[in-house]
Amino acid sequence: MQATENEKRWNLLFFFVETVLPFMLLCGKLWRLNGDMLGLGKYILPMTAFTVVIFAAVCLFVRVGMKKNHVPVFMGLYFALSALMLVDSVYCGYTGKLPSVVMLQYVWQLGDVIEAIYENVTPARLLYAIDVPFWIVYFVHLRPKLTRWFPRGKENRAQRRSSAPDKRTTGFCGILGGIAAVLCVGYCLFTPFIPSYFGSEILSYHILDVRNTLFSKEIEMPSLSVLTGEETTSSSPDGDSVPVSAETSPYYSIAAGRNVITIQVEALQNFVIGAFYNGQEITPNLNALIAGDTLYYDNYYYQIGGGNTADAEFAVNNSLYAPDTEAAYSKYYDNDYYSMATLLKDNGYSSATAFHGYIGNYWYRDIAYPGQGFDTYLSGSDYYAAPDEVAGMGVSDGEFFLRAAEYLSGVAGESDAPFYAFLITLSSHYAFDLDDRFDFLTLDPEDEGTLYGDYLQAIHYTDAAIGMFVEALKAYGLYDNSIITIYGDHFGLPVYKWECKAFLTEFLDHEYTYADHFNVPLIMHIPGADINETVSVAGGHIDVMPTLLHLLGLENNKGIMFGQNLLTATEGIVYQQTHLARGSFISDTVLYQYPFTGIAPNAKANAVDTWEELDASLFADVSAAAREEIELCMYLLEHDLVLVEKYVAAEGN
């Protein structure tokens, strides 16, 4: 009798260790992921319960259907879900959203940016999978010994040999799944929670993501008048429509006939402009440019897609939105565009050249650039950088700019016509870990080796390299007849990293918010133009092309542009995606965050200047307009209808 009681106790212990404990750990992991990482707020309980329902149902199905030991399959599912949560938490920690399966096609491009991934594999995130090695040791080494050492009873052994399911396991899965199902149904019946919100639950999200990737949803064809005609409007934060002015400004055509030199600076944020660290000017050369003959846009916000830096330049050179989960250069490289480069060459410019200090095929630039109108592309492979010319991921910005200036002097010598040059810097790339020889700021000991300390060093060095480039342009006689546009591609220090937020809140003497996170500088320097103005209308990457064309005195009658001319606009609005969910926007006064989860009541709205919380429901119409506009652009890209001529032909069919 005593042996039978011992067997029961050991059976209960094995049941607890191999069934109950994994479920408890799973619930804890899901609760943390849904709360801390995904920010589901008051909807943590139904989302966690919904995942438990799915997991319990699968485990119940496996247990009933297995004719042998079900534990390996059960634990395999547990390991897979733990690994999925680890990947989601790492990706979400860097981008603020869950990953899409389409990003798998870019895995080969990780290269040197793998360090950025390692940076986000923190001990806290490893908790999602830290127990997996212990479980492996338990099942491979410890469990076989325990089953030999401790009796589990003849009835139990016979049960395991039979095809009948274990009543204890099936009962537990059924009860747990039933309780979770009741919680889910209760939330749907007695709270504002609606069933469609379950699409943001971790398993549902990934299943729907795979489905949407394989079977993309067709977007209804938009009206051409909305895109190109007199009805073109931009929405103000209160939902009113404000006509985009077609009138010229005092700055119309003041840069006509000049060389156009555009510099996309890696991770350049606006807070460094005019800032000092312990009495040291962080960006003295950019500050000097802004001080004279410059239009400086201080409420300018980045707009990107799945290709990050590559999609920033896509938006700037085309005034189009990129896909939010894929790079435009890879998905739509063979479309017909009327890009900045193509338009300038149609208006008498001699050539268009792109420069980048990294490998040529990164983000498919080598394939996409010909379709973007570039005649020549000089990448890091063309620079043949010696060891002392490398900084971070590739050619140092100093060497990069000096060689670019030399090349452009040759271009200018071959023709009297102006040229277009597009340059992409590299040295200030995440994680900003340059050699000591590029560190020119004197940091406090506590800031040395930190992400924010390294960022300030990298930006300070890139600023010095830009100063060298300006001096080289002067030496080659190119400076006076050029318009130099400089902007940041995206954020450098994320607001969701607590150490960055804490440092910058103290450094800026105000809370570091998403408004600061998205705010990058836009500088248009026109030597000898005798102008000096700060433009505070909110703008984004898609607004650069129409604004620059206004300064050049040129028009775009062949391609559809989604941006507006910031020099004639009375109000600005920047529709966001990728780092914020579609439906989010930044206006002159409001930053509205539509939740990635799609749970509308979780939307947030804040005043840009004070970060005062606002009633998010007041901006629902503008949020809908933001989603609609980006979806219209996706339709044009998907059907290769960016050219007005092609769109008119398609609309007539």
Instruction: Extract the tokens encoding 570.
Output: 């009375």
Cα dist. 364→335, 342, 367 in Å? 14, 19, 5
Q: What is the residue whose two structure tokens read 């069934």? A: 19
SS3 of residue 594 by DSSP: coil
pLDDT of residue 194: 54
SS3 of residue 493 by DSSP: coil
The b/e string for 432-470 (b: 16+ C-beta within 10 A; e otherwise) is bbbeeebbebebeeebeebbbbbbbbbbbbbbbbbbbbb
pLDDT of residue 220: 60
For residue 482, the cross-strand partners are 259
Regions of the chain where pLDDT drops below 70: 1-8, 36-42, 60, 62-70, 94-96, 103-119, 149-200, 216-248, 384-388, 653
pLDDT tens for 396-409 read 999 999 999 999 99
Determine whether 309 is an active site residue: yes
Domains of the chain: 2-214 (no CATH), 233-436+447-474+488-652 (3.40.720.10)
Nearest to 437 by CA among 373, 490, 391, 498: 391
pLDDT tens for 515-532 read 999 999 999 999 999 999
Instruction: Extract the tokens encoding 143.
Output: 């469990």
**Is the pTM higher than 0.85?**
no
Please, what sign has the CA dihedral across residues 525, 530, 532, 533? negative
What is 273-308 written as a DSSP string?
TT-EETTEES-HHHHHHHTSSEEEESSEE----TTT
pLDDT of residue 230: 38
Question: Of these residues, 95, 309, 325, 485, which one is catalytic?
Answer: 309
* 278-281-286 Cα angle (round to 5): 160
Q: What is the residue whose two structure tokens read 């003849």? A: 154
pLDDT of residue 240: 40
Contact (CB, 8 A) for 576 and 303 = yes
d(CA 507, CA 517): 14
Contact (CB, 8 A) for 196 and 187 = no
Share in percent of the chain as helix, strand, coil (round to 5): 55, 10, 35
SS3 of residue 149 by DSSP: helix
